[in-house]
Structure 1
């Protein structure tokens, strides 16, 4: 099926960035500790929450780049 004129496909190489949070969460030994604390929260918890925020930001960046 031919691509209609004016509707070119965009490269999806930015989607590789989705691998970063995946690897960061699988590598448990890197964040399996209590210090340093942030606002009374142990590192174990705020590190994971930080990756939720980073993942959302990455998704937004990738979405904007592809649309």
Structure 2
């Protein structure tokens, strides 16, 4: 499976994302299929215009491509 196919599959699995703020930090929580991914907000440039495809690319590049 190519990188592009993996990203497209991940994008189709993303259900929602939410900014979570607790007493010590603020982070992005992403529901992706059966997984719940917690990400630093600094990894995302603009939350207002973020698409599933852009989020899938960020997740792939940061967590899966290594």
TM range (shorter): 0.3 to 0.5
Instruction: Give the structure with the higher percent helix.
Output: 1
The TM-score, its normalising length taken from structure 1, stands at 0.32
* Greater Rg by CA: 1
Q: 1 or 2, which has the higher strand percentage? A: 2
Structure number with the bigger relative contact order (C-alpha 8 A, sep ≥ 6) is 1
